């Protein structure tokens, strides 16, 4: 029995007239992005355009292209340019115009500072729509690759060795240049150029050395605060128990750069950080997000080049716009616990729920159903008080929500959208791009909440 198949006449298909309205349903994300951008105040963007020159593309269109691109995992300006020809949503947003990748990249780079204000405006739109009611938030961080290779980095120990080596080579070349006929010079050797090349490298190494020494001073200042806090806790524990604490006392911080401290010549402001997925080290930035536990909207974001999270609560909480209110409580993992985080929460009257250590994966039933003991005395140290607060019914609910609020948001950004590396270099530029990522995520999440 023969069957009849549906076939395509490709020559005829090339002459088909396609209406974009038939391809994009009314609830499509592209419609939502265009409508949302139309409600934003873009006067700060328009103010930066001069009165002379050719006819520029409207900021609304370029911004919508970038936001839709980042919301759908298209981060490259070249790919966005190509999509305005090949992809229906991008073609709709561009209105059958085709801005080139240079225009898109320049627009993104020029208006990075304005993205923070646009981020706030989108949150206010969500609040007006009733999908955002700020209450309890979760805060967490993730490492994101910088646009730099760790192979373009030099350690402090190697830097000192290179300085000695290059200085010796410069002296040898100067001695060679002072010889009359230069009988020892190989063919093709231009002494003047070789000296200039090494002197240029010495200048760059001196800059790297100064940066590493400045970073070491910052690190020692932070470590000294942590060291003194540990000493105070140890002394308080001895005073309360009346016994001498066991184990080794805290180690005071060591002055000066460490041999392994590294400087990257491609993006000097990025840092070598330990990967959270494997035992290796990568050239990264530390990205922070504060997520509303009910709506899963990002209400605050920040970026730093600090390898750990002990000092990151302050900038992340500061990034929450005052216009949307102040959260009542915040849930954080053990990496944030410390005086800096407690002070940041106390300054804003936010109740912190911070893990004090790792919980066992398979506790016994006796541990799981053990009755709650009496609260610790008022003079107990903050770690003891926090451990008790997390065992209360309210503490369990708030902290447990951290795993299914902020962690999925980070997972969506890195796994679903595919944002794993910055396109821009430098801390300020990368921070602006992180705002763009979080803004695009919020629009996508806002779109989902609006149609559910």
Give tens-digit pLDDT for 108-145: 999 999 999 999 999 999 999 999 999 999 999 999 99
Cα end-to-end span (Å), the chain: 48
- Indicate if the pLDDT at residue 177 is higher than 80: no
pLDDT at 279: 66
pLDDT at 325: 94
* Strands 136-145 and 329-332, sheet pairing: parallel
Give tens-digit pLDDT for 338-356: 889 999 999 999 999 999 8
Q: How confident is the model at residue 150 (pLDDT cuts 50, 70, 90)?
A: confident
Pairwise CA distance, residues 264 & 429, whole Å: 16
Place of tokens 């919301």: 71
Kindly state the average pLDDT of the residues 149-155.
Answer: 85
Place of tokens 């300020």: 428
Higher pLDDT: 452 or 159? It is 159
CATH homologous superfamily for the domain 133-149+275-450: Ribonuclease H-like superfamily/Ribonuclease H (3.30.420.10)
Pairwise CA distance, residues 93 & 363, whole Å: 54
Give tens-digit pLDDT for 220-249: 888 888 888 888 878 877 777 777 877 788
Q: Which two tokens stand for residue 205?
A: 């190494």
Instruction: Report the percentage of the chain scoring pLDDT > 70.
Output: 97
User: Of 222, 386, 408, 224, which Cα lies nearest the Cα of 307?
Assistant: 222
Kindly state the average pLDDT of the residues 198-218.
Answer: 89
Give tens-digit pLDDT for 40-64: 999 999 999 988 888 999 999 999 9
pLDDT at 352: 96
Q: Judge contact between 30 and 92, C-beta under 8 A.
A: yes
Determine phi and psi for 238, rounding to 5 degrees. -65, -35
Domain ranges across the chain: 10-111, 133-149+275-450, 150-263
């Amino acid at each position: 029995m023969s069957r009849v198949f549906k076939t395509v006449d490709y020559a005829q298909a090339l002459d088909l007239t396609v209406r974009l309205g038939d391809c994009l349903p009314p609830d499509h994300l592209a419609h939502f992005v265009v409508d949302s951008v139309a409600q934003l105040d873009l006067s700060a963007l328009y103010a930066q355009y001069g009165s002379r020159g050719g006819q520029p593309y409207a900021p609304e269109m370029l911004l919508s292209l970038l936001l839709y691109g980042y919301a759908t995992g298209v981060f490259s300006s070249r790919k966005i340019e190509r999509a305005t020809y090949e992809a229906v949503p991008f073609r709709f947003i561009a209105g059958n115009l085709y801005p080139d990748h240079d225009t898109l990249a320049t627009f993104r780079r020029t208006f990075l500072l304005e993205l923070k204000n646009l981020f706030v405006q989108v949150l206010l739109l969500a609040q007006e729509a009733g999908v955002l009611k700020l209450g309890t938030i979760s805060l967490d961080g993730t490492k994101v690759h910088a646009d730099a290779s760790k192979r373009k980095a030099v350690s402090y120990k190697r830097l000192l060795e290179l300085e000695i080596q290059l200085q010796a080579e410069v002296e040898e070349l100067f001695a060679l240049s002072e010889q009359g006929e230069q009988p020892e010079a190989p063919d093709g050797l231009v002494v003047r150029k070789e000296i200039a090349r090494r002197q240029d490298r010495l200048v760059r190494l001196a800059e790297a050395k100064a940066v590493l020494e400045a970073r070491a001073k910052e690190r020692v200042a932070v470590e000294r605060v942590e060291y003194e806090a540990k000493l105070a806790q140890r002394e308080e524990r001895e005073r309360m128990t009346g016994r001498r604490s066991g184990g080794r006392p805290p180690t005071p911080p060591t002055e000066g750069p460490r041999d392994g401290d590294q400087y990257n010549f491609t993006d000097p402001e990025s840092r070598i950080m330990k990967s959270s997925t494997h035992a290796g080290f990568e050239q990264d930035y530390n990205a922070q997000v504060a997520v509303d536990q009910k709506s899963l909207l990002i209400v605050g974001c920040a970026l730093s080049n600090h390898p750990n999270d002990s000092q990151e609560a302050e900038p992340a909480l500061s990034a929450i716009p005052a216009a949307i209110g102040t959260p009542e409580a915040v849930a954080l993992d053990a990496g944030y616990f410390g005086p800096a985080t407690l002070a940041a929460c106390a300054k804003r009257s936010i109740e912190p729920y911070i893990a004090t250590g790792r919980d066992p994966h398979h506790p016994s039933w006796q541990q799981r159903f053990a009755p709650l003991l009496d609260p610790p005395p008022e003079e107990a140290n903050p770690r003891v008080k926090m451990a008790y607060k997390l065992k209360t019914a309210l503490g369990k609910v708030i902290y447990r929500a951290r795993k299914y609020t902020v962690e999925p948001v980070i997972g969506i950004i890195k796994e679903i959208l595919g944002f794993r590396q910055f396109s821009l270099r430098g801390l300020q530029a990368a921070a602006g791009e992180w705002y763009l990522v979080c803004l695009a995520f919020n629009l996508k999440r806002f779109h989902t909440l609006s149609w559910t």
